[in-house]
Each structure stands twice: as C-alpha cells, then as structure tokens.
Amino acid sequence: MKLKKTVILGAAIAGLLGSSMAYAAEQFVGLPSYRVGPYAAGGSGIFGGWIDYMQMINERDGGINGVKLAWEECETEYNNARGVECYERLKEKGETGNSVFQPLSTGITYSVLDKVAKDQIPLVTMGYGRTDAADGRVFPYVFPLITTYWSQATTMVKYIAGKEGGTDKLKGKKIALLYHDSAYGKESHAVLEKMAERYGYELTKLAVAHPGNEQQSQWLQIRQLRPDWVILWGWGVMNPTALKSAAKTGFSREKMLGVWWSGAEEDTVPAGSAAKGFTAAGYNVAGSDYPVIKDIETNVYAKGKGNMEDKSRIGSVYYNRGVVHGLITVEAIRKAQEKYGKGKALTGEQVRWGFENLDMDDKRLAELGATGFLPPLKTSCLDHEGSGKVKYQQWDGNKWNVVTDWIEADKELVRGMIEESAAAYAKEKGITPRDCSKEM
Amino acid sequence: MLYREAGQFKASYEEDQQIFPILQDRIGVMLLIGFFAIAVPLFADQYWLKAILIPVLIFSLAAIGLNILTGYAGQLSLGSAAFMAVGAFGAYNFMLRIDGMPFLVAILLGGLCAALVGVMFGLPSLRIKGFYLAVATLAAQFFIVWALVKIEWFSNYSSSGVITAQEIEILGFAFDGPQSKYLLTLFVVVVMALLAKNMVRSTTGRSWMAVRDMDVAAEVIGIRLMRTKLTAFAVSSFYCGVAGALYAYTYIGTVEPEGFNLDLSFKILFMIIIGGVGSIMGSFLGAAFIVLLPIALDVFVPMFLGDLVSSSFVSNLQLIVFGGLIVFFLIVEPHGLARLWQIGKEKLRLWPFPH
Amino acid sequence: MQFFFEVLIGGLLSGVLYALVALGFVLIYKASGVFNFAQGAMVFFAALTFVGFLEVLPGWTGMEDGGRAVFWLAFLLTLAAMVLLAIATEKFVLRPLVNQPPITLFMATIGLTFLVEGIAQGIWGANVRGLNLGIADVPIEYMMDNFNILISSFDVFAAAVAAVLVAALALFFQYTRIGRALRAVADDHQAALSIGIPLRHIWVIVWAVAGFVALVAGMIWGARNGVQFALTFTALKALPVLILGGFTSVPGAIVGGLIIGASEKLAEVYVGPFVGGGIESWFPYILALGFLLVRPEGLFGEKHIDRV
C-alpha cells in the first residue's frame, strides 16, 4: 500500500519537475506561502504583493535584464514540518534551483536554518527570524534584512524618549510590555531590559497566552499599574483584543506602541474605533501613492493579472510589505547579475552574493519608485541587516498615517548583543566565522 | 495461496513465541525492511529522504506511542506532541550537559524523561475516563509547552527559546547526510516497532487490552488497574519522547516549543485513526497517509485548477478536500488502513487460485 | 479589595462568554453523544457568514448599509446557512457513522472542522473584519464613579444575551414537543426510537440549534475581537468549562463557565507574576482536572455506573 503510493507519487512529481524546464533563461523563486489558517490574512497580503511585484517586473521590463522571473507557491499552513517539505520541494525547481527562501514564519526559519548553508540557498527573513543572524560572518546564508526585533525595540525607546522630551526624561517612567507568550514575544526582553538599566525606566513584562483572545487580567493589571506607555508585542488576534481591552480599561491608545506585526489594517480594523490613535512601527509604510504601486496597478491589474482577489487591500501594510519583499529580491538578483553575468539565470549561491552586496541608497530607491516606501539599505559581509530603520505610523480610524521619519536603531547596543550571541552560537556549533576582509 | 498458514507447524516453544509466527509475514517484513534499508537509500533522492521518508518514520513512531495508549490501553490522549517536546528537550539537555554522551543513550534518556512526565499526567486516568480524560490530557499539552518556553534552563538560556540539535556522532561516524540520518532513523524506528509488536502480545499488552475492553471487568479478574494504566502511559510517552528527539535531531534540527502544538497532537491522533486503532502496522500506514495527503493535494490541486481560480482558493480547497477525505475515509473504513491490509491478506490466502 | 472585585467580576463576565461556546458542545453531546470538535469552526463560520452578508447585502438589494433591515436579513440568511450545515452534517457525516465508536465520530468532527474552515475562508476570503453591534465596549460610569470598579457595558450585555439564551433553551427543552423528544433521545436512543421519535430529525434540529448558538457566540466574540480565524480558538476556552460542568448539563456549562472565568483571571493576576505569567493557557485545564479527580463526571454530569 505504502509502496504503491510512493511509486505513483514519485512518478507524478518527477513528471512535474521535468515539465517546468521549458523556457529560456528563467530565475526561479520559491514561495512558501500560507493562505489558510489563523495567519492567512497576513499571508495572502504579503505573498500577493510579492507576486504582483514580480509580475510587474516581467510585464514592464520583460524580467531582469531579460531573465524572466518564475515562481511557484507551496502551502505551508504556517506549520514547521510543512515548511521543511516546501523548502525541500522548491529547492531543485527551475533551471538553477530555488534562488531564495523567505518563509515569513520564525518557526520555519529555525527549521531550515541549518539546511540553507549546505544547500547554498540564501534565507531571507525581513523583520522576523533569528536576530543574531545579522552577523554575516557566522551566518553567511541568512539575511534578517532591513531590521531585526532588537533594533526595533531600541527605536521604540527612542520614539518614547522623543515624545517625553529626551532620553533623560525616561528616568522613572513606567513602561509595560504586553507580549505574546512565545519565542517571538521573548525576543523583546533582553534589549528592553538592557535599555531600562541605561535609561532608568521601569519595565513591567506581562505575558499573554496564545492566541491572546482574552486579556482581561493583563489590562486590569495595567490599570492598576498606570504605566506611562504600553508596548504591544502581539501577533494575530492578540492585537485587536489588546486595543479593545485598552479602550475598555480606559488606557489611552496614543500611549500604546506596537511592533510591526501589530501595525497592519488587519490588527486595527477589527478593533473598530478602539484602535484610533494607536501607533506602530513599520519597516514599510502603508499607502498606494508610491510610483511602484502605481506601476503595479497599470502593468498588472490593468491587464487582469493581479494576484489579489480583494483589490482594496492594495496599498495596505501587508500588501506593501510583500512589495518590499519583491523589490529587495529583484534588486539582489539584479546586483548578482552584474557580477555573474547579465541575462543569465543564477544559482542560490550567486544570488546570496547579491543579497550581501545590496546598496539601495536614496537615489536607487527613487529610481525604483519607492522613496520613503522602505528605508535605504546597504548590506555587507559583516552586516546582514543593512538598515535598522523604521517609521512609526498612527491609525486615524480609517488608515495608517506616517508620523515620523526613519528612526535609526541604537546600532552600538544592538550590534554588540548580536555579535555576542552569534559568537556563542558559533562556539556551540563549531563554526569558524568568515574573515570579512577576504570577502569581496 | 500466497498467504496460507496451513502446514506451518510449531514444534517448539521458540517457534510458537516468535513475533511473526507465519512464514509469509516474516518474509514480508524482511523484504519491507530490506527495501527501505537498502534500496531506498540507494535510489531515493534527497527530497524524498529529507522531506517525506524521515518524517513519515518519525511520525510512525509517535503514532505507535499513541496507539499503545489509545489503541491498546483505551485511554484517549490529546497530548502526544507535548511528550514529543519533552523527549526533544530532554535529549538536547543530556547531550549538552554531559560530555561525551552517546547519541543513542541521549535519545533513550529523553524518552525516559517523557515517560516520567507521562506517568505524572497519567495519574488522573485512574479516575477519569473517555472524553473527560481526553480534555484533561490537554492540560499536559498546554502546561508542558508553557513550561518549556518559561523555564529558560531547558533551552540553555537562548534568547529566543529555541534549541539547536547538536551534530550526531556514533562511534566516530558523523551522521550528517540525508542517507545516514535516514538510516539511523529507520534503525531506531524498526527496533522500537518490533519491540512494540512484541510487547502488545505479552502479559503487559494483554492486560492493556483487558483494561481497554472494560476496566472494571479487568480489575475483577485480577489485573492491577493502576499499574497497567500507568505502564501504558509510561511506554506510550517513552515512544513519543524518542520520536520527539528524532524529530529534533534527524529531521528539523532547530526546534521551538511551540512547534509541538495541539495541531501536531491532533495530527498524530489522525494517524492512528486513519491507520487503524490497535495496530502497529496501521501506525505506519496512517503516518504515511497523513504526511503524504496534504503534500499530494498541494502538488495536484494547483496543477489541475491553478489557472482557473485564485491561489487563496486553491489553498482553501486543499483544506476542504483534506477534511472531506478524512470524513469519507472514516465512513468507508472506520477500522482504518490496517483493516484494508488485513483484508488484503485474507484475499491472498486464496489468490491467485480461488478454488 | 476593589481590585480583587474588579478582577472577579471581569472574570465572571468572561466566563459567561466561554459558557456561550460551551453550550453548543453540550447540546450536541446530549442529543447525539458526539463530542463535536467542529463547534469552534462553526462559531467562525457563522460569524464570517454573518459579516459577509452584512457586506454584500446592501449591494444586492439596495438596502441601506448598516441599517436594521440589513442586520436582520443577514441574521436570518446566516441562520439558514447554519440549518443547511446541520442538514448536510446529519446526512453526510452522522448518518453514515451511526453505531461507530465515539472516537471515530470525534475524529469525523475534526475532519468537519477542516471542511468548515476551508469553506468559510474559501467563500468569504481571509480578510479580518470588524463587527459593530452598536454596543460600546466602555466602562459603566456608575460603577466607576461610585465604587471605582471597572465593568464593561459590552460584557454585561453579552452576559445578558447568554442568560436569555440559556433561559430560552431551558424553556424549549422543558415545555415544547420537540424539546421533550430531545430529552427522550438524550436519555436513551433505542427507547426513543421504539416509541416512534424520528432520530434523524432530532439530530438535524439539535445541530441547527447548536448552529444558532454558534451564531450568537460568533457575533458576540466577533464584536469583541474581530471576525477572524482566531474565533475557532474559542473552542479551546470552552473545553475546560465543558469538563468542569459536565458534558451533558446546560446549567453545568454556565456554572462551569463562571468558575473557570473567575478563577483563571484571579490566578493570572495573583499567581501569574510569580511564575512568569501567561498561565491562562493551561490553568483552566489543570483546575478542571483537579475538579474531575473529586467528581469524575463533572459538576452536573450524569454519574456513570460501570457494570460487568
């Protein structure tokens, strides 16, 4: 029984593998997407935006220097084992194999972390995943691009300091951290504690059990505590519940600060009017007035090739985040083509070089039609993060409005912690860090 | 004709007490093991080894564990994934904290930790029955995952609460390729499956089944309920624990406690229901079915419908078909794939000469 | 002391919300002996369908968006959808599985869960939506001013709805023909059949009533946290309530809900800080487990007598 099924399936999959190799130069991008389950709202937005951007490059420019982008989705259901299967399935697809793996799930990121170095496929995790992977010497194949949780936490303290009138005013202030009780939520602790020591604010940590649809007790504690600020480190249904409970306990939403996984329309719309005034971080902004979004509308949706069923979501935070994924992926491939030959399909190893040598300054962003859409980005062998900047956006009841310029992270603090943690990992795993002076 | 036990006489106690008393079974099992131990690693590509065969084997082991508890001893449990987590974190800590810890000993010790925890959460089974017990085992599921996240010692104070499995080395040989990892997994799983097969027909197994069929009656005929139920919990959790350790070491590599969530527990329960409650063979068949079905759907549904409907709908359709197939399967064969296997063997008694 | 009462009252009111979901389980278990894991998915399906109709109806019929007429029409249409779901479930899942062991039926309802979730999101999309029932989720000023105790008006409203629902169900079971038939079926399938009660109809009715309860629960939970996939997780909140109160008792669900709600909040506030918090995920289960050790059939469950 098992044997027979194995044979049939094997034959079918072999057939599938064969049939996908038909066209000239094509760069394959595997998409481990999730469109069902609790996180489907985020998944469909991000992967929709990403696919639309790649479609736009194919339609408008005929690909990257003539190399068309090809992609295939693999449903992970946000499940680690399914994610590993998708990773293995997508690995060998296309002419040159999968060029990049971006699972949009910290769990799946950890599950393939050891595998990518062996398979020479870059693993790109924007705004999630393993923070200390920003040390490119220990993690040559992992790119926590733009910004990490630790960088984000420092910008939050900066933002609060700005509102309070300077870092010296932080002394004696009470900050409550309402976090999702999981590995993801715990990422915030070390940095915020360290900064509490430095600036003298008082940090109270309140855990919310998964999934976070009940927060009565936490908010009554907050009401008792009367903190000056609440940092919301939430995920999924926990965010609207927190906003609703805040309204219920009379805590001002203007004094609530969310992480980028708390700052999408999906988090505020369900909370209704309770969300008004809530501010959250974002490494991309909302809005459809950017040339890059306009290009997608004219080159993709006007031709009826768009991926989104619900066009009103174009320009939403998650959709735009997907566009950022597309932008950076395409840019890395373009960069790698400059070195390894234009008009050729590249291997994962070659694309990795592209990710490591990204240079998207203001001028380049303007060319891409994305000025202000995402922060300037410059990566290197040492620094796989590349930026560390976020903007803060405030919900006005209908849409997100940008309220700050790009806020820089406390690089010196974060970098020290990253190197310390990466060194510990290297020691545990017996990895010899690369010598970056020899890289080029 | 092909599968006929007539004429096979058992002349000694040894012959009577073999795990597989029928010659054809012995040959069949040998062939199966031989195929998976020799032919598969030679010919299967990496994708099949890493993404399908290794997880199928590991989940089979977990399913055997749950089958011992639910299928043989009749105690419904929804906490299998948590016991896997205990095994994984246990093995990790033994490897980490004791220098020169042999890998196989570490996973067995991980299994023992799980067994200990299993006994603890098995205690209520002496008073609580049926679905009440099932819901009560959810306490184990949620509590263990919470404790593994909260108590940082378990993950060696890693900032994100995840553990990274160490390299596997046995007698100086490094198990780092897919083939070697697959073979190692296969070895552990086969040995433990044979042990389980042997155990369920021993005194222990028979008393489990007596308790399953009716515990009051079992008590009346002199079976000690407490010991029987608790050994079932211990053995079952041990199997789940070892499966969890293998999951971390030969399959995923870096695991987080949340990976061992309720969904995984349900998945393992599905495996034994689809495979066949109270059947070791069924655990393998069920695990293969539950691992392969979603993958097959993910490959074939977009192939046939990909251009017609949106990708979100394709994903939802997979879920619908998956749920529908489960219900359909329960209706047509409530005793699971193992029953089909059984029917196949009956047919082979006569086939190819039915008269 | 004021804080203690605040937490206690908040917990009791949350408990009522848990009980609302648990009710659906109890109804089905009582009448058909099926432990219906799909109840959470049904809550999600009902809420999503309701909100979906609210969105599309003004376009279809030209009715005023957000008006009262749209609200009730959407409510009725969703109710019709729940009845359809009940009929389909009876026909395609329950009837073919008659006389199977309870665990098989339980697994079938998990299969049903995937099916219902897939259908719900397949039809209405994965978007997260808000739902406004017109009741503000703000503190009641009178209590705030006089006792400095925070009680949300929405939670009080939800508790009132739950109370009305339970009372209506109790009357329905006690005084109507169908209600009596339902109780007969719950007591003994065989005996009920032999006196001519049509089992199939009864099952459809029970599942439809459970669908109605799911709709009410979905609307209230949806208005509270948004209509999204996480509504299926409300089932996990209802399970400890269920074992504490007993699978077969409607009052048990309410009392169980109150106990679980109050004690989990008190535990989180007074015990949580010492162990790192977040204990709400498992505390209700451990509590229910402790209760079961004393009373293995729950507070109001029927005592099970084993005979050899």
Write the ipTM: 0.89
pTM of the full structure: 0.91
Q: Hey, which bits of B183-268 come out as E strands?
A: 254-255
Does the beta-carbon distance from C272 to A274 stay under 8 Å?
no
pLDDT single digits (tens) C69-104: 899 999 999 999 999 999 999 999 988 988 788 888
Distance from CA of A421 to the nearest CA of B (A): 9
Does the beta-carbon distance from C228 to A241 stay under 8 Å?
no
A220: nearest CB among C7, C230, C233 = C7
What is residue A13's predicted lDDT score, i.e. its pLDDT? 47
Cβ(B132)–Cβ(C295) below 8 Å: no
Average pLDDT over every residue of B213-225: 91
Chains interfacing with A (3 or more CB pairs < 8 Å): B, C
Question: How far is residue A233's CA from residue C144's CA, in Å, rounded to a whole number?
Answer: 29
B50 in contact with A, Cβ within 8 Å: yes
H or E element at residue A431: none
What is residue A18's predicted lDDT score, i.e. its pLDDT? 42
Q: Is the pLDDT higher at A19 or at A179? A: A179
pLDDT band at B1 (very low <50, low <70, confident <90, very high): low
Average pLDDT over every residue of C9-16: 90
Does the beta-carbon distance from A187 to B341 stay under 8 Å?
no
pLDDT at B351 over 80: no
Does the beta-carbon distance from A36 to B316 stay under 8 Å?
yes
Q: What's the mean per-residue pLDDT of chain B?
A: 90
CA-based nearest residue in chain B for residue A89: B47
C306 in contact with B, Cβ within 8 Å: yes
Does the beta-carbon distance from C233 to A213 stay under 8 Å?
yes
Task: Name the packing angle between helices B225-246 and B103-122 (round to 10°).
Answer: 140
A125 in contact with B, Cβ within 8 Å: no
What is residue A159's predicted lDDT score, i.e. its pLDDT? 95
B316: nearest CB among C121, C239, C285 = C121
Q: Tell me B352's DSSP state.
A: T
pLDDT at A26 over 70: yes
Distance from CA of C140 to the nearest CA of A (A): 10
B323: nearest CB among C113, C121, C126 = C113
pLDDT at B132 over 90: no
Q: Hey, which bits of C90-198 come out as E strands?
A: none
Distance from CA of B47 to the nearest CA of A (A): 6
Calculate the dihedral angle through the C-alpha atoms of A360, A364, A367, A370, rounding to the nearest 10 degrees: 40
For the stretch A167-174, contacts whose Cβ atoms lie closer than 8 Å and that sit 24 or more positions apart, written own/partner, are A167/A199, A170/A199, A170/A200, A170/A201, A171/A199, A171/A200, A171/A201, A172/A200, A172/A201, A172/A202, A173/A201, A173/A202, A173/A228, A173/A229, A174/A201, A174/A202, A174/A204, A174/A225, A174/A226, A174/A227, A174/A228, A174/A229
Average pLDDT over every residue of B310-333: 88
Distance from CA of A440 to the nearest CA of B (A): 30
Does the beta-carbon distance from A1 to B341 stay under 8 Å?
yes
Total residue length of chain B:
355
Does the beta-carbon distance from A310 to C14 stay under 8 Å?
no
Does the beta-carbon distance from A209 to B146 stay under 8 Å?
yes
pLDDT at A6 over 50: no
pLDDT at A410 over 80: yes
A301 in contact with B, Cβ within 8 Å: no
CA-based nearest residue in chain C for residue A245: C137
The two three-digit tokens of residue A212, written as one number: 């976070």
CA B349 from chain centre, in angstroms, equals: 30
Does the beta-carbon distance from B320 to C242 stay under 8 Å?
no
What is residue B354's predicted lDDT score, i.e. its pLDDT? 67
Does the beta-carbon distance from B132 to C297 stay under 8 Å?
yes
B160 in contact with A, Cβ within 8 Å: yes
Residue B146, phi-psi category: left (phi > 0), alpha (psi -120 to 50), beta (remainder): alpha
What is residue A337's predicted lDDT score, i.e. its pLDDT? 95
Interface A-C: count of C-beta contacts within 8 A: 129
Question: How far is residue B82's CA from residue B250's CA, in Å, rounded to a whole number?
Answer: 18
Which of C93, C242, C292 is the best residue to mutate to test the B interface, defined by the most B CB atoms within 10 Å of its own CB?
C292
B348 in contact with A, Cβ within 8 Å: no
pLDDT band at B254 (very low <50, low <70, confident <90, very high): confident
CA distances from B98 to B92, B93, B102, B106, B161 (A): 10, 8, 9, 10, 20
pLDDT at A9 over 80: no
The two three-digit tokens of residue B281, written as one number: 């063979």
Q: Which residues of A touch B35 (CB under 8 A)?
A: 3
What is residue A285's predicted lDDT score, i.e. its pLDDT? 94
pLDDT at B152 over 80: yes
Average pLDDT over every residue of C206-229: 92
pLDDT band at A11 (very low <50, low <70, confident <90, very high): very low
Q: Which residues of A touch C113 (CB under 8 A)?
A: none
For C2, counting Cβ atoms within 10 Å of its Cβ (0-12 exposed, 13-18 middle, 19+ buried), the class is exposed
pLDDT band at B307 (very low <50, low <70, confident <90, very high): low
B296 in contact with A, Cβ within 8 Å: yes
Does the beta-carbon distance from C152 to A223 stay under 8 Å?
no
Does the beta-carbon distance from B324 to C104 stay under 8 Å?
no
A18 in contact with B, Cβ within 8 Å: no
The two three-digit tokens of residue A105, written as one number: 């799930």
A214: nearest CB among C237, C269, C272 = C237
C114: nearest CB among B128, B149, B323 = B323
Does the beta-carbon distance from A35 to B252 stay under 8 Å?
no
Average pLDDT over every residue of A147-151: 93
What is residue C143's predicted lDDT score, i.e. its pLDDT? 77
Q: Which residues of C touch A213 (CB under 8 A)?
A: 221, 225, 230, 233-234, 237
Q: What's the mean per-residue pLDDT of chain A?
A: 89
Q: Is the pLDDT higher at B196 or at C97? A: B196
A211: nearest CB among C129, C226, C230 = C230
Q: B-contacting residues of A 197-216, CB under 8 Å?
A: 209-210
Average pLDDT over every residue of A234-249: 91
